[in-house]
Each structure stands twice: as C-alpha cells, then as structure tokens.
A and B are shown apart, each in its own frame.
Chain A
Amino acid sequence: MKPLITLKNISKHFVEEGDKSVVALADISLEIFPGEIFVFVGPSGSGKSTLLRIISGLEKDFKGEVIFGDEVRQHDFSFVFQQFALLPWLTVAENISVGLVARNLSIHHIKERVNKELKRFGLERFANEHPRELSGGMRQRVGIARALATDPKVIFMDEPFSELDSFTSEELRKELLRIWENPAWGEEVAHTQPRPTIVMVTHIVEEALELADRVAVLTPRPARIERIVTNNLPRPRALRSQEFYTLEDELYRLIKP
C-alpha cells in the first residue's frame, strides 16, 4: 500500500531567550497509510503537538519534508484542537459550517450538511446556542462535527480529549471510532466511503491503545522516534484484557519521562 503521508528527516528548533537554540524535533522519518489511526505518544513537552502542526501545514518553519499522496490536498485536512478552538461569536451551527462556507457550497447544501452533523452528534437542541453555553464535552462534539463536516481525508487531532472528564472522554472516543468505521453515516444512498486517516497526539497511553492502529513513541526533547508499535488488537478493544495490558506495559516501558 502506498503511504498517504511521508515524513522525511523532520527537524525543528526554537530560538529561546538569549538567542539560545533548542532542538525540539530531530530527524523524524515515518510513513502513515490511508485509513489508519496513527497516534503519537510521548512525555510532556516532547514536541508531539509541534510535529502534528508541521504535518498539518500549520507550522511552516521546519527542516525536512512532508510528502502527501497524490490524492490528498490541503483542502482534505481538518483539525480537532485540544481547547476546541470554537469561534465564540458564532453559534454551534455556524461553527460547524465554517469549513463548508470556505468551500463555496450552496446555502442549501451547507444547511443539509450542518443538520446531518448536528444530528450525528446529538447537538440539534444546541444549534443556535453559543459555545459558552455548552459543557466541555458538548464543545468538543462541536469541534469534531466541524472537522467531519467537510468529509476530510485526513483528520489531525491534538490531544482532543485531554480537557474532558474521563466519562465524557470515553464516550467521545467510542463515538469517534463509530464514525471512523462508518463515515457514510446518515447518507440517503448507501455507499462505501473510505475511512479517513486520523493522526492524533496524546499523552494518555490507554487512549492511544484504544484508538490506534499504530503508535509512535517519541523520546524526550529533542523528540526522535523511539519505536513504532503496531496495535493489532481487534475492535472494539477490551480495555481490561491481558493483551491490552501487555501492550500498555510495553508502551510505558518505552516512554521515558
């Protein structure tokens, strides 16, 4: 299978006070394949989010190359942010519609698609509310709905569940998996839509193992790839199974504080 995203020798340094140069990422190379869930884990401050921002094109100042497969353009990306990044002056429905408006779709099409996302995430009652009127879990639902509304081929997620309580986080992870497995949900004409590729960053090992097909463990700063662990456990994953614990132990051994 041809990779969808290829990273070649990605390096990044920051200039701190006193012109001191700090290397954040050093020589990172890897491949991500279409339709997989690829998760980066690593200790705090290891540069996971910086790497995600480089891959998504939000961070432009780095060394190395990010190569995308022929079928992917910048247009096909979306991003779920740690702190939701909802625009507070827009309503829930308007927030979801932002990417659709940017694509110059007809008002009818935008409304239809927004309604689909509102329904999919149980947000219909909140369509005209503003983000400040919602709980954290609801806000991140809106964030994910906004990301999915444009039918992206690649979804970048920067610690999307870390601001939520454990129950809401678990519920949203299950919802995300359901959507990833059935992206054509709610379509009137049944058709097979390829699964989006998800590239996620987290510092929670259990979360990584519940979702990921492969987990890349980063070293402490400067971040390098310590190892890429393949997770072949069948879905839905039994979080209390012996196999899950074994993988979890392996990851904990690899992550150095």
Chain B
Amino acid sequence: MRKTHAHIHAHAYIYRSRLHRLVTVLFLVLPFAFFLFFAEVAAISSTKLFMDIGISVVRMCVAYVIALALAWICAVLFYQGRRAVVALPFFDVLQSFPTFAALPLASYFLGPSNTTVIFFLVLTIIWPIFFSIISSLHLIRRDWREAVEISQLSGFSYFKLFLLPVTIPGMVTGSLIGLGDGWGALVATEIIVGSHRGLGSFFNLFSRNPRITVFGILGFLILIFSINKLVWTPLLEWSHGKMEE
C-alpha cells in the first residue's frame, strides 16, 4: 500500500493538474511543430532540418555523458585532502583555458569530425558540473559521514546509498549550467570546424539569410526551453527536495 501511495505522490508531484499535463504535451509538440512550420515557410527541406537538429542533439548527449562521468570521477577523487590542495588550483587554471583558441588547430589535425566537436563540447560542459559536484561534496554534513563510517558501508553500497545521492544535486545544477554553455559552444564549434552536419552547419549555410537565421534561433530557443521544462526543472526540484531535512 505504501508503495502505491508513493507512486501516486510522485505522479502528483510531476503533473499537478490536467492543465499541467496539457502544457507538458505542448512542450513536447511545440518545437517539432515550429520546425515543420519553419521548414515550410523558409522553403527548406524538413528532413535536412531535423537531421541537423538530431545530429547536434546526439553530439550534445554523447559529450554530456562523457563530461558527466569524467567530472564525477575527478570530483570524487580530488575534492579533499592533499590531493585537493594540488589538484583544485590546477583544475581552476584548466577551466579558464580558452578552448576555442585551440579549436582551429584541432580541426586542422582531426578534421571536421564528430570527435572534434564532441571533444570541445566536453571541455566546455565539464567544468560547471565538476565544480558543482565538488561543492555538493563539501556540503556533506560531518555526522552523515560519521554515520556511514560507523556502519562500515563500503564498495558498491557506499556508492549507491551515499556517494551518488549526495552528489546528485551538484550533478543536476552543474548540468544545467554546463548544457547552457554547451548549446552555444556546440553551434560555434560546428561552425568553426566546418562540420557538414548539425545546427552549426545549418546556421552557417543560411548566414546571409536573416529571416531564416532569426527563425532558426527562435526554434533553437523553443527546443532548449522545452528540454529545460521537461527535464531539468523537475530534476532540479526533485534532487534538492531529496536533500531537505
């Protein structure tokens, strides 16, 4: 019975009302409807438009997963003790490194490949996630840590019951900021490396057509807004709610 109650509660939390459910569907449909309309008005191939969006989204997802995993591992390894004294200033300098300065050189050697775009996306996304996880780890209460130590939790149980939950708020907050930077970096990287596919290539192709560029940017914003409303806002509320005492 308790499980059912929790289940209902979780749903009630996501969809507060019928209107909320309708708005959610709208957020799912709106970007697609807009892009279809846009392709029709601008007389461009909707297949090409959706292919470009799809490729960019996939690149973003791959880069995000790599950045998240790397940021989490580095944060857990280097957030405290002597390692932190050496590593944190080093990471701070690294995050300030102007990655775009190295982009033309990288694209010269690696070409306009997916690897180049994803590599530079990872470099952009990783830092906010890394530093947010570090701050989550620093906020761990001493008595939580001691309760876990005295219970002798270790290995996978330690990861599942303690380390992962305490870092989730940092991961979500960092992801929000990182992906915010990432969308801009994605388009810029795709343009600079001269990628033949993706949103960067799309904007590059229509760079002399202000109407298409403006509508493209508008569609792009609608897409990001929808993803934010559907994924990140609920995740942010959920993750911080979980830590409430």
| Distance of A131 from chain B, by nearest CB (Å) | 7
C-alpha spacing A81/B142, complex, angstroms? 11
> How would residues 110 to 139 of chain A score, 1 for a CB under 8 Å from any chain B CB and 0 otherwise?
000000000000000001101110000000
C-alpha spacing A90/B153, complex, angstroms? 14
A30 at the interface (CB under 8 A from B): no
Whether the pair B152, A75 counts as a contact (CB closer than 8 A) is: yes
Whether the pair A58, B157 counts as a contact (CB closer than 8 A) is: no
C-alpha spacing A53/B147, complex, angstroms? 12
Whether the pair A88, B242 counts as a contact (CB closer than 8 A) is: yes
Residues in A with CB closer than 8 Å to B148 are 87, 98
Name which residue of chain B comes closest to A143, CB basis: B147
C-alpha spacing A128/B152, complex, angstroms? 23
C-alpha spacing A98/B158, complex, angstroms? 10
CB-CB contacts below 8 Å: A91-119 with B: 94, 98-99, 101-103
Whether the pair A98, B151 counts as a contact (CB closer than 8 A) is: yes
B162 at the interface (CB under 8 A from A): yes
| Distance of A199 from chain B, by nearest CB (Å) | 13
Residues in B with CB closer than 8 Å to A53 are 146
C-alpha spacing A167/B141, complex, angstroms? 28
| Distance of B144 from chain A, by nearest CB (Å) | 6
C-alpha spacing A94/B151, complex, angstroms? 13
C-alpha spacing A86/B165, complex, angstroms? 13
CB-CB contacts below 8 Å: B145-161 with A: 146-154, 157, 161
Whether the pair A128, B2 counts as a contact (CB closer than 8 A) is: yes
CB-CB contacts below 8 Å: A49-105 with B: 53, 56-58, 74-75, 77-79, 81-83, 85-90, 94, 98-99, 101-103
| Distance of B185 from chain A, by nearest CB (Å) | 32
| Distance of A233 from chain B, by nearest CB (Å) | 31
> How would residues 151 to 170 of chain A score, 1 for a CB under 8 Å from any chain B CB and 0 otherwise?
00000000000000000000
| Distance of A128 from chain B, by nearest CB (Å) | 4
CB-CB contacts below 8 Å: B136-183 with A: 141, 143-144, 146-154, 157, 161-162, 165-166
B contacts with A: majority SS = helix
B243 at the interface (CB under 8 A from A): yes
Residues in B with CB closer than 8 Å to A57 are 150
| Distance of B137 from chain A, by nearest CB (Å) | 15
Whether the pair A85, B245 counts as a contact (CB closer than 8 A) is: no
Query: How many chain A residues have a CB neighbour from B under 8 Å?
Result: 31
Whether the pair A87, B162 counts as a contact (CB closer than 8 A) is: yes
Whether the pair B161, A88 counts as a contact (CB closer than 8 A) is: no
C-alpha spacing A64/B19, complex, angstroms? 67
Whether the pair B157, A101 counts as a contact (CB closer than 8 A) is: yes
Whether the pair B144, A87 counts as a contact (CB closer than 8 A) is: yes
Whether the pair A98, B141 counts as a contact (CB closer than 8 A) is: no
C-alpha spacing A101/B141, complex, angstroms? 21
Whether the pair B151, A102 counts as a contact (CB closer than 8 A) is: yes
| Distance of B122 from chain A, by nearest CB (Å) | 28
Residues in A with CB closer than 8 Å to B151 are 78, 98-99, 102, 146, 150
Whether the pair A85, B244 counts as a contact (CB closer than 8 A) is: no
| Distance of B105 from chain A, by nearest CB (Å) | 45
B3 at the interface (CB under 8 A from A): yes
Instruction: From the candidates A56, A81, A101, name the one contacting B153 in the complex (CB within 8 A).
Output: A101
C-alpha spacing A79/B157, complex, angstroms? 19
> Interface residues, chain A, CB within 8 Å of chain B?
53, 56-58, 74-75, 77-79, 81-83, 85-90, 94, 98-99, 101-103, 127-128, 130-132, 146, 150
The 21 listed contacts between A and B (C-beta, < 8 Å) are A53-B146, A58-B150, A78-B151, A79-B147, A85-B143, A87-B147, A87-B161, A88-B242, A88-B243, A94-B161, A98-B147, A98-B153, A101-B157, A101-B161, A102-B151, A102-B153, A103-B152, A131-B245, A132-B244, A132-B245, A150-B151
> Interface residues, chain B, CB within 8 Å of chain A?
2-3, 5-6, 141, 143-144, 146-154, 157, 161-162, 165-166, 242-245
